[in-house]
Structure 1
Amino acid sequence: MPLTPAQVQRYQRNIDVAGIGVEGQERLLGSSVLVIGAGGLGSAALPYLAAAGVGRIGIIDGDAVELTNMQRQVLHTDLGRNKAESAAERLGLLNPDVQVEIDTTYLTRARAEALFPHYDLVLDCTDTFDAKFMIADAAAAVDAPLVWASAVGMQGQCSVFGVPDADGIRLTLRDVIASEPSPQDYPRAVNVGVLGAMVGQIGALQATEALKILAGFGEPLVGRVMVLDAARGRWSVLPLRAARPRIRPSEQE
């Protein structure tokens, strides 16, 4: 639908960005994103998606706000409240153009495969590898584009999976990490801490990647992973390739 005069004014700074324009903004308003996790990453990604005018945003989180969350999960103000409900209320106040849908339960693989096809894009804003592999495997099973990220301590990373690269190959999380690590084999915030501002940088990066894909401009992080070493003030971009042989679409019979 054409933008109203009020929408043109609201989104003027988006429209002025090279590659977006009015058509890109209209695409954003007609698009949908499912965000899994309204914690640290989600607290940064969700407001930027809503403010940019993503027309329909789904939020899934079965967790409640705790005092230890408040140092980084800046979307929330009320302790004990479900995070999806809290996030939805804030987004509604931020931008009435946006339709927000919530699920206050924890996601399962079956539920994920049923939900993902109803959205243009999925954001993984969870904080454990068991959740991340479940989400990534479900997205791969139904060909859902996925913006993935992780953040702990002073380090974060972000990539885009399920979007064809220059050769038409869709990389998955298992191309980066072939098998799910045991919980004791990777650091978690509960053990090593996490700087809230660093998590915010990674969540905002997820929103940026999502908006590029939805509006159809720029070069998303396909076939690459962006890594932040916040302690040293360094960003790195690492190339990715398939961990096992893939058949290109052009080679299929």
Structure 2
Amino acid sequence: MDNERYSRQLILKGFGVEAQNKLINSRILVIGAGGLGCPILQYLVTAGIGTIGIVDDDTISLSNLHRQILYATNDIDQPKVKVAAKRLRLMNPETHIVEHELRLDKSNIFNTIESYDIIVDGTDNFDSRYMINDVCAILQKPLIFAAVAGFEGQLAIFNVKNEQGIATNYRDLFPISPLPGEVSNCAENGVLGVLPGIIGSMAAAETIKLVTGIGQPLISKMLHYNLLNQATYTLNISPGNDYFLPESKADFLLSNEEQLCPKTPVFEEIDLATMQLLQEEASALVIDVREKHEFPLLNKEIFLQVPMSEFNTFVQNNIAAESIVLLCQHGIRSVAAAELLQEKYGHTKKIYSLKGGISKWRNHFLTKQNE
């Protein structure tokens, strides 16, 4: 080990040689070498991780360059894995880089993941996220999850036991995979280049904390970050029991998509017209779970504002309304809030989430803002 290379972290109180040796002896797999994967890879390599695997089957395009910081204009059309590996080896020749130029599927995911200590998911599609989650749960591999959407990012650690000896997985938070096209990705919604850099750096930090044992990693917690005002809040994730999760490799290989991604949610996602009909019912309560700084502002006489950062506390109260409609900016947080309410009330109340959120029905809500 070249002590001078790592000298600034070796002198950190509570870190030192012991923590550095843990990094050197660790094996980390980073899935996705895009906007999130690039900063994750860069900071893990320069921190001194012993072995890093890179999984990606994509090539570099011009639209990647504003956020995928390992690549340059003359790399366009080249495989991301090969270009990333070349740059990373120049940054730190002491780290062993393993190239997995492939797309993970049922036929290769176990063989790819099994030899690594920690898996970091920087993918941008739900099929991959659920597959990676399920295999990591079967293999009991710690999984660091990172995602970005619009101006917001999410980060969590799964399959690691907390102080109570309980571990959670991605399906405990989002048990149901959305149908194709239900949730937009960066290619559709866009992304500011610095956002995956911020979330990717955070994911690298969580990986280092998990390997070395320093600090308080986000075990069974989901951190939500808003770039526009630097606001963050953290949700505690509790184990659920309303989803199918294969118990073994054999179960996973035999399972079908309908089992892994059931299409019947425990609550109902609705469109704007249905929400308006429900608003006409005296018993319906409409809750805006966005943070207080988010626009457009809604009429508080019509929409009860309960920010997601306060929702766990709110759920402890009894709600008299028979029907509850939840909405947020993109229809993602409202689904999480609906699941929390479903856990408490089961089928004794009718719970709904506005699909696509305020962004999808922006003209309607801008009109409401001026009423």
The TM-score, its normalising length taken from structure 1, stands at 0.92
The DSSP-based 3-state class of the residue aligned with 2:195 is helix
**Identity, % of aligned positions:** 35
Alpha-carbon contact 2:224-2:234 (below 8 Å) kept? yes
Alpha-carbon contact 2:30-2:121 (below 8 Å) kept? yes
2:190 matches 1:185: no
Match of 2:289 in 1: none
**Which among 25, 28, 31 is matched to residue 30 of structure 1?**
25
**Which among 17, 39, 42 is matched to residue 12 of structure 2?**
17
Which structure has more RCO (C-alpha within 8 Å, separation ≥ 6)?
A: 1
Q: CA deviation at 1:244?
A: 2.4
Q: Which runs of 4+ in 1 moved over 3 A?
A: none
Aligned pairs for 1:132-143 (under 5 A) are 132-143=129-140
Cα deviation, 1:144-180, whole Å, max 9, x if unaligned, reads 1110011121010000001111121111000110111
Match of 1:215 in 2: 212
Q: CA deviation at 1:141?
A: 1.1
Match of 2:99 in 1: 102
The DSSP-based 3-state class of the residue aligned with 1:138 is helix
Question: Where does the alignment leave 5 or more consecutive residues of structure 1 unmatched?
Answer: 246-253
Cα deviation, 1:25-82, whole Å, max 9, x if unaligned, reads 0110111100110000001100000000001000010000011111111111200011
Cα deviation, 1:190-232, whole Å, max 9, x if unaligned, reads 1110111011000001100101111121111002111111123
Match of 1:231 in 2: 228
Aligned pairs for 1:117-132 (under 5 A) are 117-132=114-129
Match of 2:163 in 1: 166
Alpha-carbon contact 1:152-1:195 (below 8 Å) kept? no
106-115 vs 203-212, greater mean Cα deviation? 106-115
Aligned counterparts of 2:111 and 2:139: Cα–Cα separation in 1: 9
Aligned counterparts of 1:73 and 1:209: Cα–Cα separation in 2: 20
Provide the alpha-carbon RMSD of the alignment: 1.2
| Amino acid of the structure 1 residue aligned with 2:144 | V
Q: How many residues align?
A: 240
Alpha-carbon contact 2:121-2:146 (below 8 Å) kept? yes
Alpha-carbon contact 1:38-1:83 (below 8 Å) kept? yes
Aligned counterparts of 1:18 and 1:144: Cα–Cα separation in 2: 29
Q: CA deviation at 1:115?
A: 2.6
Question: Where does the alignment leave 5 or more consecutive residues of structure 2 unmatched?
Answer: 243-371
| Amino acid of the structure 2 residue aligned with 1:94 | M
The TM-score, its normalising length taken from structure 2, stands at 0.63
Match of 1:249 in 2: none
Alpha-carbon contact 1:146-1:162 (below 8 Å) kept? yes
The DSSP-based 3-state class of the residue aligned with 2:235 is strand
Task: Give 1 or 2 for the bigger CA radius of gyration.
Answer: 2
Aligned pairs for 1:64-103 (under 5 A) are 64-77=59-72, 78-103=75-100
Aligned counterparts of 1:109 and 1:139: Cα–Cα separation in 2: 13
